[in-house]
Amino acid sequence: MEFLRSRQALHVLHRHRETFLSKQDFQAIHDMGLNSVRVPFGYWVVLGPSAGEPYEGPALDMLDKAVQWAEECHLEVLLDLHGCPGGESADAPCGHRQRPESKWVWQQWRRLETLKALEVVARRYRDRKCVTGIAVCNEPSRLIPAEILASFYDEAVDVVRAAGMTDRVTVVLPVFQRCLRTFEALWRQISKGRHRNTCFDVHHYHCFEDAWNRMTLAEHLRAVEDHGREFQEFPLVVGEWSLALGGRAASAMCPREAMNLFARAQLNAYSQASHGWFFWNWRDGAGPAWDFRSSFLQGLLEGAAPILPTWNGLGEDPLERLLEPTVGDPYVRYGHAVCLRSWNGRCVDVEKSKVSARWFEGGDWQTFLICPAASSAGCSGAVRDGDVVRLLAHSGVSLGVSTSGKVLCRPGRSINCELTVLLKANPGCHRQLRHKDQIYLQCRTSGRVLDVEGSRVAARFQHFGEWQSLSIERKLLRDANSKGGFMEDSMQSSDFLEEVMPSLKRSAAVADLVVPSPVRTRLTGSQARVGLAAKVEG
């Protein structure tokens, strides 16, 4: 806005408001089988901007137009106050993103002005039958004390009802990044159960935080299943959801298949919500994951609800085996190719001598051959907790730790390539490693443990924490002599490893392994992803 004003170009905003959406959009929404629209607006659309704020308003004529079009197209409307005076958070959805986040404190949220905006909207649209819901704010920060938020909601319902919106209209109360059960109990305590026709608003996105990015597709589908259980207990509307998946899950199978499976699971779960759901967004340039119209036209929302195999939460989820099958036995053995997936879902990769964790896919640059250390006897069998190993990168150079704690892939006597493998769950148990076990890798000489912060890989501390946790995942090695075949048998992997052992035994603990060129060729040819399509039948 400030840029437009400085260029005397506010007409660009006005034209956008006039042309971005039309009645044809509302008619298309109806024709695609939807029955409601959620219309977000900032407080400045109602009251005009406060002094010193950059917004352009009021613009209630735009809300009038949206309500009228919805009515003409037989759609219900949820009016959503999406940005409050002072902001209900430090994030962009409320109209102004403040960074660092500490620049915003919850006391900046001007709640009395917010109530005034709600009163104006409620009074203006109280007699419009197509208006069946009003949301009192959007994604309020978790930093707002729960008692303050619940008390505001109590006042907001009173204001909306006093303005003439009867309990025919649902008052929507957002619960964002909070425990729903705990907040619902507090809400009952503060409101004393005196309000009718209210519901909580939840937003289910599976793509933003590291916790979502490191989850498998199976784990995402189980999370959706858990969401469905909430709908049996509380009055809820899913105010926002999308088809965007966390990085690891998005790379697990064909993106279109993953997105369709994810969509069908969500539609099945969210259809159980007492007050329905709203997809974010109707039209968006970020692709079908965020664009209902595009995802509908591409058939990504079609199909029956997936029937997930039952699982009691113990042991390996059978859904994991169905969606990401492994070949052969589940154990990690010497000679196997593996990926190291960090706590944030990204795989450790090697580009020349630089070691990072930049991508979720496990391709050539993320592939390591697991070898015994120079001092170890034998070169076959399962890798165990406590073993000292080397990790041979696609470049033919082993992963190593410098005396200063840098993790590199380059030869040098200051680089120690011998790493002790420790199981996260039970270090020292000497158990055999299995596919997807959580492990730590500790430099044998310095005791430093590999860690990942963002995309940076280092070995800075002798700590065993979340940043140091790695998932070891088996891969298939492409055999250069088998016309594209893969070595699935541990004996073949053992034979393969024998080729590098003479060089390994001649090298010192701090020197690097010189790999014969045929072996380097095979490593470079390792596939980026196992080409096995899997889907859950509905």
What is residue 100's predicted lDDT score, i.e. its pLDDT?
Answer: 86
What is residue 92's predicted lDDT score, i.e. its pLDDT?
Answer: 87
What is residue 255's predicted lDDT score, i.e. its pLDDT?
Answer: 86
Both tokens of 134, joined, read 């009003």
What is residue 410's predicted lDDT score, i.e. its pLDDT?
Answer: 83
Residue 337 near residue 367 (C-beta atoms within 8 A):
yes
What is residue 252's predicted lDDT score, i.e. its pLDDT?
Answer: 73
Residue 458 near residue 356 (C-beta atoms within 8 A):
no
What is residue 489's predicted lDDT score, i.e. its pLDDT?
Answer: 41
pLDDT digits (tens, 9 = 90+) for 454-471: 999 999 999 999 999 999
In the chain, where the domains are located: 1-298, 329-474
Give the CATH fold of the 329-474 domain: Trefoil (Acidic Fibroblast Growth Factor, subunit A) (2.80.10)
What is residue 54's predicted lDDT score, i.e. its pLDDT?
Answer: 84
Residue 512 near residue 412 (C-beta atoms within 8 A):
yes
Q: What is the DSSP string of 434-489?
A: BTTEEEEEEETTT--EEEEETTEEEEEES--SGGG-EEEEEEPEE-TTTTT-EE-S
What is residue 4's predicted lDDT score, i.e. its pLDDT?
Answer: 63
pLDDT digits (tens, 9 = 90+) for 260-281: 999 999 999 999 999 999 999 9
What is residue 77's predicted lDDT score, i.e. its pLDDT?
Answer: 98
In angstroms, how far is CA 30 from the centroid of its own chain?
30
What is residue 196's predicted lDDT score, i.e. its pLDDT?
Answer: 97
What is residue 5's predicted lDDT score, i.e. its pLDDT?
Answer: 65
Mark the ranges of the chain whose per-residue pLDDT is less than 70: 1-9, 326-328, 375-380, 476-538
Give the CATH fold of the 1-298 domain: TIM Barrel (3.20.20)
What is residue 10's predicted lDDT score, i.e. its pLDDT?
Answer: 74
Task: Give the pTM.
Answer: 0.82
